[in-house]
Amino acid sequence: MSVTKEKNTEYQTAGCDELVETLRTPNLFPIEPYATKIAESVIDLSKGDEDRCVELFFDDKELLVAEIPMGQ
């Protein structure tokens, strides 16, 4: 069975969305951009055979600057 690139992307997106829902708990509720990045990293880690880790750094300043309209 052959899976097209578009269909594979759909599966990855659906898997990422489900993983975000799993990651969010009453005690851990990362905002959408962070939860998505965490889920993508978990998916990437699960694809490999080797034992490895990834460090993720989130800078809230980037989000705040992106939300402030220019000229204010």
Q: What is the pLDDT of residue 56?
A: 92
What value, to the nearest 5°, has the Cα angle with vertex 6 and ends 22 and 2?
Answer: 100
Q: What is the pLDDT of residue 55?
A: 93
DSSP run (H or E) holding 6 = helix 5-23
pLDDT digits (tens, 9 = 90+) for 1-42: 333 444 445 545 678 888 888 888 888 888 888 899 999 998
pLDDT digits (tens, 9 = 90+) for 22-33: 888 888 888 888
Six-digit token string for 66: 């992106």
Six-digit token string for 71: 């000229």
